[in-house]
Amino acid sequence: MTRHITLKSAINEALDQEMARDPKLLIFGQDTAGGVEAGGVADTWGGVLGVTKGLYTKYGDRVIDAPPTEMAYVGAAVGAALAGVPVVAEVPFIDFMGVCLDQLLNQAAKIRYMFGGTAEIPLVIRTMVGAGINGAAQHSQMLTSMFTHIPGLKVICPSTPHDAKGLMIEAIRDKDPVIFCEPKFFYDVSGTVPAEPYTIPFGQARVAKAGEDVSIVTYGPMVPRALEAASQLEQQGVSAEVIDLRTLSPLDLTTVLNSVRKTGRLVAADEAHPRCNMATDIIAQVTEQCFPSLKTAPQMVSAPHTPVPFSPVLEKAYIPGVEQIITAVTKTMTSPS
């Protein structure tokens, strides 16, 4: 059975079903229980943005309300995972991952290697990414590519409710640490999601729209914008293929290369800042591995190299959108071969 539910609800359902399946699974996070007038007991908040709402009432002390000290509770989650207890820990915004970075960079990501493959870290770090909710400079960044640079971490960023549920269940069942990046601007976007549990394997990109003239490669919050751009381009006679990476590490480069070899043109889009983001990584690897197939220089779409503004008008101008993608595609179509 399938239903239309929101991206937020899809993640909640994945957590619920996995907690029912595995009695050892724990959830750590800020405000997972308690809240205003709750006496620290009632299940009122369900995390900072309400994703875990209802789970404390259902699973009691397996849902642990942590203080706002990310290094402490992420460190506890790493230790629990190392001891064989799987944990999903919520760091409310990726902007604050720096507070607990040592626990991830030097502990969780390295332990399997340092123990000769004998240790497992069944740990998922849920975190929110992207702009669009007037969160200002410290609650709106797209820092996903920082974590793809770290061997030993898997990095996920879904764009649809269907993918969010399947990838979350896959992440929980994985034996290595996973950074699960949730585009908070799309929490309330609905989509078709099966009621039963299912998984989506890591390292498999999705062809969100087939096309022949240009490949638009992106992920997370940029996917709906790329699809809208592709729809408008279709009316202009340009057939754009849209690739949703879904998992940033491991990266399905094969699907990207096959698409570019077919179209001969590439636009890589990322809501992140322009230096060392996923778009620059994709362009570099495509240029290196299938340069003869390119009919023109690849184009990048990204946010400007500035902090995210608080002003709604400035924030709207900051976020790369449909117009920027269309402009980049038009440039690839009109540039000389």
Q: pLDDT tens digit string along 124-169? A: 999 999 888 888 888 888 999 999 999 999 999 999 999 999 999 9
pLDDT of residue 337: 57
pLDDT of residue 36: 45
pLDDT of residue 34: 58
With tokens 């724990």, the residue in question is 26
DSSP-H helix ranges across the chain = 7-21, 55-59, 70-82, 101-102, 111-114, 144-148, 161-173, 222-235, 253-263, 278-290, 312-318, 322-334
Given the residues 139, 149, 162, 273, the one annotated as active site: 139
**Mind listing the pLDDT tens digit for each residue in 47-64?**
888 899 889 889 988 999
Per the CB < 8 A criterion, the answer to whether 256 and 215 are in contact is yes
At residue 245, what are phi and psi to the nearest 5 degrees? -65, -35
Per the CB < 8 A criterion, the answer to whether 72 and 102 are in contact is no
Level-2 CATH architecture, domain 206-334: 3-Layer(aba) Sandwich (3.40)
Q: Would the CATH topology of 2-194 be identical to that of 206-334?
A: yes
Active site residue 162: no
pLDDT of residue 335: 67
The CA distance from 156 to 154, in Å, is 7
Q: pLDDT tens for the chain, 337 residues: list them.
A: 889 999 999 999 999 999 999 999 999 999 887 554 455 555 567 888 889 988 988 998 899 989 889 999 999 999 999 999 999 999 999 999 999 999 999 999 999 999 999 999 999 999 999 888 888 888 888 999 999 999 999 999 999 999 999 999 999 999 999 999 999 999 999 999 999 999 999 999 999 999 999 999 999 999 999 999 999 999 999 999 999 999 999 999 999 999 999 999 999 999 999 999 999 999 999 999 999 999 999 999 999 999 999 999 999 999 999 999 999 999 999 866 5
Per the CB < 8 A criterion, the answer to whether 262 and 292 are in contact is no
CATH annotation of 2-194: 3.40.50.970
Strand runs labelled E in 62-156:
63-65, 87-93, 123-129, 154-156
pLDDT of residue 50: 87
User: Hey, where are the domains in the chain?
Assistant: 2-194, 206-334
pLDDT of residue 274: 95
- pTM, entire model: 0.95
